[in-house]
Amino acid sequence: MNSEPTGPDPLDTVPADIPVHGRRGFVTEVDTTQFPDHGMAAEEAYELLHTALMLDGRETLNLASFVTTWMEPEAETLIHDTLRKNHIDHEEYPAASLVEEACVHMLGDLFNAPDPAEVVGVGTIGSSEAIMLGLLAHKRAWVNRRKAAGEPTDRPNVVFGAETHVVWDKFANYFDVEMRKIHMKPDRYVVTAAEVEERIDENTIAVGAVLGTTHIGEADPISEINDMLVRVESEKGWDIPLHVDAASGGFVAPFAHPDLLWDFRLSKVASINASGHKYGLVYPGVGWLVFRDRSKLPEDLVFSVNYLGGAQPTYTFNFSRGSAMIQAQMYNFLRLGRTGYESIVANTMANAAHLNEKLAESGRFEILNPGLAEPVVTFKLTGDPGFDVYHLSARLREDGWIVPAYSLPPDAEDVHLMRIVVRLDLSRQMIKVLLRDLHKAYEDLQAEQPTQRASSKADLWTAPAHAAAHGKARMGLHN
């Protein structure tokens, strides 16, 4: 460890007219285990980082991700304008904070709340924070109800299926709630209302259902689960709320399937989360949690602080955060409106349907979600062509495409599949090239007959620790 800065300060020694690529920075390795003794010129720091980040995949070709990779120049200008605003400072930045409130009410309207003016909610960093806050509110409401009735509160449980995102497991773990997770079936990747009913009881704080499942992009039977919960309440008196995880589907269903009943039109739906940074079409850093009305958010969870001036009610895990992505969300609401979102969603759905059709028609692939709840295409190999989806995924990487291959959770772990998330910046012309590259990779692999892997390749979902270690080793870092 260095206590004293060593060597000359490069800022004193680099003549301004030496070009960036002629300076020391480009022939010096950065010791990532030591805090730098000296600074460097701004353009040098920028160029070093900017260039090194090109080792990453290209965002637009990353078909693994739901997260937005393109916004209009005006949105980017607005983001730049608002980078300096700390969103929590409602007293100093009241206009910024009103935009968040307005987004929540507009979402209440989009999600068919009985009275959009009465919904309460919050802008979060993403759906993960939104889901945890939503479930925490249901846990507290359950505790408050039980205490008032003189009942024990030591055994809360939450019921959901394996098709949910890992954040549901995290919530159960972090907040000491028993997780009653319903396994997938080898040939069915969503839950049924009957499976949920078998697991609920008077200690169930909430049931979770997904609109746009993480692995397959399907929808749980939300309306049937709602009807079951209504019936159970009338038979047994258990008032169990339904939280809908609409991380990816919340900005698709209202435009692509307006008649699908999944939202506040269903009486047991107490809260909904949606990722603004997925089909809400904003860059990473914004999610939404919306409660049906204020009765669903226990008051004892809402904190008020006064040291930034004025009293500020907050229900978030974070305090300081950027305002830019919240402003960008409102930009999209105003700029696109329903008709704008409809036209974009219709294009992504049409492109996903086209991909589905072409993949199925080749006979080489079997589509796992032909119903297309959202523009996500999932498929597995037909039969055994002598290679697996992991080979195919790796081969597509050589052409720049990032198409993940993975296995499903138990009891469907023998299903190995690939997933293409169709976002607004994947044009039909690019899909044509993608299909050509995919078939070329298929034919090459079929000719090569590579060595089969023993089991699925470790990836971020099936083996996050392994995947992280691989990334670090590549960069010369150690765990």
Task: Catalog residues that contact ligand PLP under the rule CB under 6 A.
Answer: 66, 126-128, 165, 167, 210, 212, 214, 245, 247-248, 275, 287
Cβ-based nearer residue to ligand PLP, 241 or 287 = 287
CB-based contacts of 96-101 (< 8 A; 24+ apart in sequence): 96/323, 96/326, 96/327, 99/326, 99/327, 99/330, 100/326
Cα–Cα distance measured from residue 85 to residue 100, given in angstroms and rounded to the nearest whole number: 13
Cβ-based nearer residue to ligand PLP, 122 or 438 = 122
Closest distance between ligand PLP and the C-beta of residue 402, in Å? 15
Closest distance between ligand PLP and the C-beta of residue 341, in Å? 18
Closest distance between ligand PLP and the C-beta of residue 10, in Å? 40
Cα–Cα distance measured from residue 184 to residue 411, given in angstroms and rounded to the nearest whole number: 5
Closest distance between ligand PLP and the C-beta of residue 14, in Å? 42
How far, in Å, are 1, 31, 155, 159 from residue 6 at the CA level? 12, 14, 59, 58
Closest distance between ligand PLP and the C-beta of residue 190, in Å? 12
Closest distance between ligand PLP and the C-beta of residue 207, in Å? 15
Closest distance between ligand PLP and the C-beta of residue 276, in Å? 8
Cβ-based nearer residue to ligand PLP, 126 or 161 = 126
User: Residue by residue, what is the 3-state secondary structure of the chain?
Assistant: CCCCCCCCCHHHHCCCCCCHHHCHHHHCCCCCCCCCCCCCCHHHHHHHHHHHHHHCCCHHHECCCCCCCCCCHHHHHHHHHCCCCECCCCCCCHHHHHHHHHHHHHHHHHCCCCCHHHCEEEEECCHHHHHHHHHHHHHHHHHHHHHHCCCCCCCCEEEEECCCCHHHHHHHHHCCCEEEEECCECCECCCCHHHHHHHCCCCEEEEEEEECCCCCCCECCHHHHHHHHHHHHHHHCCCCCEEEECCCHHHCHHHHCCCCCCCCCCCCEEEEEEECCCCCCCCCCCEEEEECCHHHCCHHHCEEECCCCCCEEECCCCCCCECHHHHHHHHHHHHHHHHHHHHHHHHHHHHHHHHHHHHHHCCCEEECCCCCCCCEEEEEECCCCCCCHHHHHHHHHCCCCECCEEECCCCCCCCEEEEEECCCCCCHHHHHHHHHHHHHHHHHHHHHCCCCCCCCCCCCCCCHHHHHHHHHHHCCCCC
Closest distance between ligand PLP and the C-beta of residue 122, in Å? 14
Cβ-based nearer residue to ligand PLP, 203 or 348 = 348
Closest distance between ligand PLP and the C-beta of residue 125, in Å? 7
Closest distance between ligand PLP and the C-beta of residue 360, in Å? 24
Cβ-based nearer residue to ligand PLP, 336 or 460 = 460
Cβ-based nearer residue to ligand PLP, 417 or 438 = 417
Closest distance between ligand PLP and the C-beta of residue 373, in Å? 11
Cα–Cα distance measured from residue 457 to residue 466, given in angstroms and rounded to the nearest whole number: 10
Cα–Cα distance measured from residue 64 to residue 148, given in angstroms and rounded to the nearest whole number: 47
Cβ-based nearer residue to ligand PLP, 113 or 219 = 219
Tokens 């920075």 belong to residue: 25
Cβ-based nearer residue to ligand PLP, 139 or 243 = 243
Cβ-based nearer residue to ligand PLP, 89 or 245 = 245
Cβ atoms 189, 213 nearer than 8 A: yes
Closest distance between ligand PLP and the C-beta of residue 127, in Å? 3
Cβ-based nearer residue to ligand PLP, 134 or 212 = 212
Cβ-based nearer residue to ligand PLP, 204 or 275 = 275
Closest distance between ligand PLP and the C-beta of residue 210, in Å? 5
Judge if the upstream peptide bond of residue 411 is cis by omega within 30 degrees of 0.
yes
Cβ-based nearer residue to ligand PLP, 279 or 442 = 279
Residue nearest to ligand PLP (CB): 126
The two most distant CA atoms of the chain are separated, in Å, by 82
Cβ-based nearer residue to ligand PLP, 124 or 203 = 124
